[in-house]
Structure 1
């Protein structure tokens, strides 16, 4: 099955590509259902498509909001620009927008969004007759429903289904609560997620006196849907006839995308789900469920927040065997006898001696101990764009030995730090930092694979965190 990953911005797109996505879906400045994501300006999309295609990854662009007349008027120019950028598919939920795309950009595949609620083969056949190459199943479908759809739909019509991420309590996401309570329409990409809020009852003759719906004096979360997690059931999805599994999360950061995409990639490539399952506990998530695939979807009525077992502390922006005194001298290359240095963009605090986990593409997590921590004093959050790796590389290429200051802790967010991986900071793949210290330097600095921790990896700290108002303060 194709692994389709979310890309809320360029940083997330790079993570999705590096960690094994076959395709990504993203939105431009207009017409997408995740208006709060960074998204892409129209002039950024050609470069994004070129990067994805260079790595053999397809690009699908969402155009799935509820379309009003003014929206339709702007679609021809929008589709033509995306066509010129080389995108592979449009994800469309509105029949009129679907027709416009076919007229002005016949080269680009048209995928029918889950917003269209395709839940039976009759609907799928109609969309196929109009030119659809793929339907995204309504989230209310069971595996048995999808299997029947596969049997009764045209064989060349592809089937896409959600496998992981947040679930909406409304039918295929068509909800009016946000619009009613806040004036911000979820159907136009501006959902405020009022289904996650805490609610209480007020009796008519007792104004101002509130009663909990359940035995909880903080209210109840009666519409709060569990997150979907189908990692253990990918074979069932494949047997049902699913061609593409989709990960929800265009509002998520690159660390989340890397973790989840990496986990699904490893299972699709043959690793047992139980060996990878803990990866999905590492990132921020609500209680997990399996949606409607096996039974009615479950809510989390006593839970209003997220939990995670790790904290993202740094991005690996460069990895080098050069000695730091030689780092600015490009003509001097390192040797296998030089230690390895990791150059990190700080995201959350970590310190000398901390045990961190390495999240690298296509590999199980490994341990690393922070040694010889230094801060680059010529680089700060005010003089770079954290989404532009070229800026980071330029700063590193100009840095001299005197620009690096010893640091007890990395506590400047979006600043550059350096740590030693070698004599003082060896690591292993058996899941323990103590065993990591017994690995030989040759394993780290092997000439055949000198960069054991590649650029684009992430470092995380094993720290349990929970954000939930229903918990007792002592437990928080």
Structure 2
């Protein structure tokens, strides 16, 4: 069995650094145009060059998204976009539109083409046609089961790579092809501007009784009839590998660097352990604890094992947020951990230290110092540089997070 690639998201440079530090083999990110995620900062031309240089220096690949459905007035901008991508040295372009594929082959020669999940590949016939067009990898529709993926793998060339989402938010529409946001808000979901109306709570209002709202019950728990759970396949690495998936993709370009670090780290450890232990592999439940320590919705296994059972959340659209990052460790100075504060904290709080390749473990903050070396009782300004006297030796790229008070 070939070791699968671990592919992580990055909406900004901090998330890119987190992905690289915590074990990603490749990172996908967006430019300022043609990206299905417009809410993150994304990467301008200079930032893209810097991102590729940083990733390649660390042995990590960069995949640039160009997966929107461009309109007529945007086509003339694509050649420049591709030339910038080629000059920056990106390793692949993630594309959806057939016309975009042809333009990419002309203006970005030598760069691999990956067919986005937006393409909606659910069978080997489509995968083979894309391969004949020069596509190196297909990102499968999220509606496919492991059995269907295995069949697709058996009927496609071995040189065609298969990528599939293994973790993160899911879309209630077919492979993200949705017009609900367009109808309700005027924001085009196929051009990265989805307002996520599938997460809203809906009610009926009878015309003669304005202001009197009647709930729509899909069951006795609520009215969030389109609100899907998040995908989590951390417990099923062996099944994913055996199905022939080349690349395990984590959703989350709009998520925080902390999310990217934690989820990348957990899947990195799970993949490495399975590939090392083989048939003796047993899932480490501490990794499931890890993926619960980020902001998320209730988890499920998507369509991998057939039609989803209990795939929706009826009680509301809010995320589960119990854990907070306190600080990011960026170095060491005179035995103290040099940190960037992310959320307020004090030595009276309880903490875990998360390092690449390890699960979180308890650590104490004995004292906090400001940039001038003065003792402070509490770090209260996110973004400020602080120095911490920890009960354990500091580790660059480590993350200090607060343990919830109810645990």
Query: One fold, TM greater than 0.5?
Result: yes
The question of whether the paired residues in 1 share the 8 Å contact of 2:343 and 2:382 is answered with yes
1:214 to 209, 214, 217: 217
Alignment equivalent of 2:298, drawn from 279, 283, 287 = 287
Aligned to 2:162: 159
Post-superposition Cα deviations, 1:155-189, rounded to whole Å, max 9, x if no partner, equal 21100000000000110001111111111111110
What's 1:46 paired with? 49
Partner of 1:113: 116
Asked if residue 274 in structure 1 is aligned to residue 269 in structure 2, the reply is no
Determine helix, strand or coil for the equivalent of 2:34. Answer: coil
Verify the 8 A CA contact 1:316 1:345 in the aligned structure 2. Answer: yes
SS in 2 for 1:371: strand
**Whole-angstrom CA distance in 1 between matches of 2:93 and 2:204:** 43
State the partner residue of 1:330: none
Decide whether aligned partners of structure 1 residues 273 and 101 sit closer, same or farther in structure 2, where only a CA change above 3 A counts: farther
2:194 paired residue number: 191
How many pairs does the alignment contain? Answer: 393
CA contact (8 A) 1:231 1:273 kept: no
Q: Identify unmatched segments of 5+ residues in structure 2.
A: 275-282
- Please point out which of 401, 404, 407 is paired with 1:463: 404
Q: Answer whether contact 1:31 1:64 (CA < 8 A) is retained.
A: yes
Distance 1:146 1:215 in 2: 31
Q: Structure 1 residue 44: deviation in Å? A: 1.3
Question: What is the distance in 2 between the residues matched to 1:464 and 1:59?
Answer: 39
SS at 1:282 equivalent = coil
User: For the residues of structure 2 that align with 1:300 and 1:216, how far apart are their CA atoms?
Assistant: 11
Deviations 1:336-380 (A, max 9, x none): xxxx2012211111112332111111112122111121222xxxx
Distance 1:127 1:464, change over 3 A: farther
Counterpart residue number, 1:350: 345
Q: Deviations over 1:117-165 (max 9, x none)?
A: 0100000010000000000001111111101100111221100000000
2:363 to 364, 368, 379: 368
What is the CA–CA distance in structure 1 between the aligned matches of 2:303 and 2:208, rounded to whole Å? 40
Aligned to 1:251, which of 251, 254, 260? 254
Secondary structure of the structure 2 residue equivalent to 1:61: strand
TM-score by length of 2: 0.93
Shift of 1:84: 1.0
Range that drifts further, 75-84 or 13-22: 75-84
Once residues 151 and 216 of structure 1 are traced to their aligned partners in structure 2, the CA distance between those partners, rounded to angstroms, is 40
Structure 1 residues 15-94: aligned runs within 5 Å: 15-94=18-97
Paired with 1:235 and 1:71, the residues of 2 have a C-alpha distance of 43
Contact kept in structure 1, 2:286 and 2:359, CA below 8 Å: no
The residue aligned with 1:302 is 315
Tell me the SS of whatever aligns to 1:20.
coil
Report if aligned partners of 2:328, 2:399 keep a CA contact under 8 Å in 1: yes
Q: Is 2:328 the counterpart of 1:315? A: yes
CA 1:250/1:215 → structure 2, altered by over 3 Å: closer, same or farther? closer
- How far residue 107 of structure 1 moved from its aligned partner, in angstroms, is 0.4
- Asked if residue 4 in structure 1 is aligned to residue 3 in structure 2, the reply is no
Displacement of 1:27 after TM fit?
Answer: 0.5
Provide TM-score, normalisation by structure 1. Answer: 0.80
Which whole-Å deviations, capped at 9, do the CAs of 1:454-475 have from their partners, x for residues lacking one? 222111011279xxxxxxxxxx
Residue of structure 1 equivalent to 2:99: 96
RMSD of Structure 2 on Structure 1 (CA): 1.7
Runs (4+) off by over 4 Å: 215-219
Q: How many Å separate the matches in 1 of 2:130 and 2:77?
A: 23
User: Are the counterparts in 2 of residues 374 and 407 from structure 1 also a CA contact under 8 Å?
Assistant: yes
**1:406 maps onto 2:375 in alignment:** yes
1:206 positional shift: 3.1
Structure 1: runs of 5+ lacking an equivalent: 323-339, 377-402, 428-451, 466-476
Q: Counterpart in 2 of 1:416?
A: 385
